[in-house]
Amino acid sequence: MLFDVLNESLVEPGYRADSLEEVVEELLRLLDATGKVLDLELARRDLRENQQHLTAGMQHGIAIPHAKTAAVKELLAAVVVTERPLDCQSVDGSLSQIFIMTLSPHEMTGPHIRFLSEIGRLLKHRRVRRKLLEARDSGELLAVLQRA
């Protein structure tokens, strides 16, 4: 499922950002460039609302800003790896450097959960996280995810 929604135009290594908000905007920009985001402002608003209830920061330097929204008709995802770690109020107190955004329609619970589960399985391995941080370009970043 992961590779049904990700391609080189949706992954970006070495992104320079000073805040989670900047990373979220870059992830939204990547998703909007697909032409599949029907209402960018609605997607942004739904992400913000979700982040008020749930932190995007998970553990091991990973953050997953996500939302269910009427702004999309299918599950969309993008990945950004930042040059330096950012504070996302992670559940384990770690700073985040690997960001995975998902947007999915309200009625699409199964694929949303499966995607998040698949990402979780891949990124639980320290070796995979390290290789993602070392990726020099989008092709290499995508290849790390595909080989994991």
Q: Which of 30, 49, 113 is nearest to 75 (CA)?
A: 113
Q: What is the β-pairing status of strands 62-63 and 11-15?
A: unpaired
**42-52: per-residue pLDDT in tens?**
999 999 998 77
Dump pLDDT digits (tens) for 5-55.
Answer: 889 999 999 999 999 899 999 999 999 999 999 999 999 999 999 877 666
